[in-house]
Amino acid sequence: MTTQFFFILTLLVGLLASGCSEAQNKNKNMKETDKNADMTSKIATKELMKDSIQKTEEEWKKILTPEQFYVLRQKGTERPFTGKFLVHNEKGVYTCAACGNELFTSTQKFDSHCGWPSFYDEIKGGKIKTVTDNTHGMVRTEILCAKCGGHLGHVFDDGPNPTGLRYCVNSLSLDFKKD
């Protein structure tokens, strides 16, 4: 009776452990895929930005706050509903926080309720560049400042008229010039 009980117990523990390690392996593989996607995105960005302002990480760290550095240079994302430009309705121009490049006007801003400042269009003239971003198991279009290569956010095709676009931008990537 006792022997049988221990036999079943051992079997159960064994099954449980193998299940766990399988999950861990899967997790490891996913991380590996994400790492590769991240590398591909970084290489594509480097190629796209070869004519932009070139600074070393140390030089950018002197100009930017640690939070701005994380978003602009390391393609980070600020937590939703925390950015200073999410609820911001002054008239003026939104510029790149790293280099001052004029990116969006206040009239292009709309309330998307997605947690980040959103714009339905950009200031024309090639001020923003896009690159395919395959990280986090998604296919998204990343937007970058064309002048300095700073990460701004992503652009989606679920925006309002007249463009149907939604530029989802980190407040940390932006500065503002009042009219």
* Active-site residue list: 168
Minimum CB–partner distance for residue 89 and Zn ion (Å) = 24
Nearest Cα neighbor of 98 from 168, 170, 47 is 170
- Of the pair 37, 101, the CB lying nearest Zn ion is at 101
Q: Measured between alpha carbons, how far is 115 from 86 in angstroms, rounded to an integer?
A: 7
- Of the pair 44, 53, the CB lying nearest Zn ion is at 53
The label of the residue with tokens 């036999």 reads 7
Element (H, E) at 68: helix 66-72
For residue 18, give every residue at least 6 positions away whose Cβ sits within 8 Å of its Cβ, in sequence order, or none. Answer: none
CA angle 69–71–75, rounded 5-degree value: 115
Minimum CB–partner distance for residue 39 and Zn ion (Å) = 23
- Of the pair 131, 145, the CB lying nearest Zn ion is at 145
Minimum CB–partner distance for residue 149 and Zn ion (Å) = 7
- The residues of the shown chain that bind Zn ion, judged by CB under 5 A, are 96, 98-99, 101, 145, 147-148, 150
